[in-house]
Structure 1
Amino acid sequence: MARTRPTADPDLLRLLGRTPLARINTPLPQPHPGFWAKLEGLGAGGMKARPAVAMLRGAHARGELRPGATVVESTSGTLGIGLAFAGQALGHPVVLVVDAELEPAMRQLLRSHGAELEIVEQPAREGGWQAARLARLHEVLGRRPGAYWPDQYNNPDNAAGYHAMAQEIAAELDHLDVLVCSVGTGGHSAGLAAPLRRRWPHLRVIGVDSVGSAIFGQPARPRLMRGLGSSIHPRNVAHHAFDEVHWVGPAEAVDACRRLARGSFVSGGWSTGAVALVSAWAARRQPGAVVATVFPDGPHRYLGTVYDDAFRRTHGLHPARTATHPVEIPHPGAAEVGGWARCRTPRPSREARP
């Protein structure tokens, strides 16, 4: 049965952004002076509604996306919610290529918002789930003439979608010394770092990656954490923008998420736990510094993983095994990291260079 063309609802765009900036003081795991967190989980469509709208609007302006045409994208979930929002606001059906590890609750939520799902059942031998999703995506595009692929990994409108968030942060803070960003597609770190550095030229930017991610030159490995890290090399990652990079493991991320939930009420998933841990560390290392980060989403998607005791036991994520400080390596190729690690000379691997 053919799907009817959705009617655009531009009034939804008034719900985009303007999320609160919260002060976080919960020990993570040790006491710290506090940092600021942009609570994107409280915005309509989550953090990635911002780049989703920007990418579709940019494609409209260039004539790449026709009115009512289908939008097809690969996602681990968060961008999918953003594209579902953008599709309703701008009048486009959305097809999302996801994988078998996507949580059942997230599948239901995406479908409830009108998205059609293409589910990949096996990871690729090289490139894992991301490569497998991209291969399926090209198959879907071949079956749907006129469909548009935003290509979140390489589309500069992805980063541009976060400029309004940078303005919101600058409007609320008198000064900013350290910005901590999770890194996946590279959109929000690139989209925040450039405008905030124009405002505060001495701003330090810390990237937070996942153990097993290839973005900063580590070998790609299967990853338990979703939403940050990558098995491919997105061109949107502005490697030159980072003063240092931290790799965080799932045990540390889970511990931080649960501490946030108990002590600050606001929490989220893997990316939130990872950036909270590193932000608290940065605030401890530089007392008096103003540190800010972004919590990309809320906890609801992760009730069966991050906040589930059985999941934690199954994967050996015991709090006694969490690191309280990072191991330092001199450069990304010096050693393969297995937990929280830090490098002050981040640079792309040879494959990531243009």
Structure 2
Amino acid sequence: MRTTNAFANLTEAYQIPRLIKLGPNLYGAAFTLMKMIPARFILNKALRDGVLGPDTVIAETTSGTFGLALAMEGVHLDRRVILVSDPVIDARLYRRLTDLGASVERVPESSARMVGGYQAARLNRLAEIKDEYESVFCPEQYSNPDNPRSYSRVSELLVETFGQVDCVVGPVGSGGSMSGTVSYLRSVLPECRAIGVDTHASVLFGHADGPRELRGLGMSLMPANLDHTVFDSVHWCQASAAHAATRQLHQRHALFMGPTSGGAYMVARWWAQANPEALTVAMLPDEGYRYQDTVYDDEWLLAQGHHGAQLPTEPVPVVRPDQVAGPWTTYNWARRRYAEVIASGDAPVGTS
């Protein structure tokens, strides 16, 4: 078996974001692969705890870059990796995962009609895999508290670099990156604001579940790692707005990132301009190579009805989190629990 020490630095480098100045008071934390942070943290802890033995299979449900991080680590740890995904998993990502030796199982398209959609079907299949093998370790990114815990290193980097961070803006999926980064930041900067970026038809902040064109953020099931009390406000963006912002981020700053990064950049740029005395950091999770045939292809954008879409200049405030009012809306979450917000029925309009 190969030893892990010789390979540690190869994936270690993926965890450190580049801090890029995007405006007078706006910086982007641009990651090559942000999900490498929790993947390495969780797997290394499993090794130390003795639950990831030489013959243990690593199995997880994922449709994105967490699976890529696990597959890369699986190479270095010499472990078999089984990933349960959607039938619409990105073709470029699928090829890369299988080339790394990971087994990728895709749940049937009929799963989309069940409660919880593909994500529920993937979890059901994962449970079956756990019964099929003698030794299986599931990182459980949606519920494992080591996911948000791993982002303490990002908080440390931001504090060491900037000293004062007034606002962090980032996309929300499993909840780990934003919940973890901001929670640790507030141990030294309690007034630091957190703005979550979601997409319509995601259940994370009060929308009903439905088809989502914008992938990489949003969920059909509520993840245990999402701490709603972290967030001061929430912004929802449609695919057309996120795609336009992604292209603008590339054209203006030469940052080649994915559409979730574009959504975060759009919101962060607006907030930074509205608050010129505050230092704002946008979390930009992954690079744009998976999207060369989509977001970065004008013909594809045209076919999807997005080519030439104008980037909105500001969000539309809504008084209820389930309202849809155009391609970009915002709601004053005010660091409240999910049940508290939903029970309130409405809340004062806020765009901060």
Indicate whether the TM-score tops 0.5: yes
How far 1:71 moved relative to its partner?
Answer: 0.6
- What is residue 52 of structure 2 aligned with on the other side? 65
Quickly say closer, same or farther: Cα 1:251–1:279, change in 2 above 3 A: same
Give the corresponding residue for 1:109. Answer: 96
- Structure 1, residues 3-43: CA drift from partner, whole Å, max 9, x if none? xxx63433332241233211114xxxxxxx451111211xx
Cα distance in 1 between the residues matched to 2:3 and 2:122: 28
Structure 1 residues 165-180: aligned runs within 5 Å: 165-180=154-169
Residue in 2 aligned with 1:121? Answer: 108
Q: 1:294 to 1:13 in 2, by over 3 A?
A: farther
Whether the 8 Å CA contact 2:25–2:278 is kept in 1: the answer is no
Q: Distance in 2 between matches of 1:67 and 1:271?
A: 36
Q: What's the counterpart of residue 191 of structure 1?
A: 180
> Could you tell me how far 1:256 is from its partner in structure 2?
0.7
Q: What corresponds to 1:22 in structure 2? A: 20
Q: Structure 1 CA distance, aligned partners of 2:79 and 2:303?
A: 40
Q: Which amino acid in the other structure matches residue 69 of structure 1? A: T
User: What corresponds to 1:9 in structure 2?
Assistant: 4
* 1:38 aligned onto 2:26: no
Q: Deviations over 1:85-141 (max 9, x none)?
A: 222333322111111211211111111222111122313322222122222222222
Distance in 2, Cα, partners of 1:173 & 1:134 = 40
- CA 1:76–1:149 in structure 2 vs 1: closer, same or farther (change >3 Å)? same
Matched, 1:344 2:332: yes
Alignment match of 1:85 (pick from 53, 63, 72)? 72
Tell me how far apart the structure 2 counterparts of residues 244 and 7 of structure 1 sit (CA, whole Å): 47
TM-score, length-scaled by structure 2 = 0.89
Could you tell me which residue of structure 1 aligns to residue 349 of structure 2?
A: none
CA–CA separation in structure 2 for the residues paired with 1:13 and 1:165:
18
Q: Amino acid of the residue matched to residue 19 of structure 1?
A: P
Q: In terms of mean alpha carbon deviation, does 230-239 or 121-130 score higher? A: 121-130
- The more displaced of 228-237 and 166-175 is 166-175
**Secondary structure at 1:179 match in 2:** strand
Structure 2 residue runs of 5 or longer lacking an equivalent are: 343-352
Q: Partners in 1 of 2:267 and 2:62 — Cα distance?
A: 25
Higher relative contact order (CA 8 A, sep 6+): 1
Q: Deviations over 1:197-254 (max 9, x none)?
A: 1221210111111121100111111111111111100010010011111111101110
Q: Is the 8 A contact 1:233 1:351 kept in 2?
A: no
- Partner residue of 2:40? 53
Q: What is the CA distance between 1:310 and its match in structure 2?
A: 2.5
Aligned partner of 2:282 among 293, 307, 318:
293
Deviating above 4 A after TM superposition, structure 1's stretches of 4 or more consecutive aligned residues are 346-353
**Aligned counterpart for 1:278 among listed residues 235, 242, 267:** 267
1:217 corresponds, among 206, 211, 216, to 206
Letter paired with 1:164? R
Conservation of the 8 A alpha-carbon contact between 1:97 and 1:133: yes
Separation of aligned partners in 2, 1:7 and 1:120: 32
* Distance change in 2, residues 1:40/1:320 (3 Å): closer
Q: CA RMSD in A?
A: 2.1
Task: Report the equivalent of 2:235.
Answer: 246
Alpha-carbon separation, structure 2, partners of 1:14 and 1:297: 19
Structure 2 SS opposite 1:137: helix
Q: Could you tell me the percent identity over the aligned residues?
A: 34
In structure 2, the residue matched to 1:303 is 292
2:29 aligned counterpart, secondary structure: strand
Unmatched 5+ stretches in structure 1: 1-5, 26-32
Confirm whether residue 315 of structure 1 aligns to residue 304 of structure 2. yes
Q: Which AA in structure 1 matches 2:22?
A: I
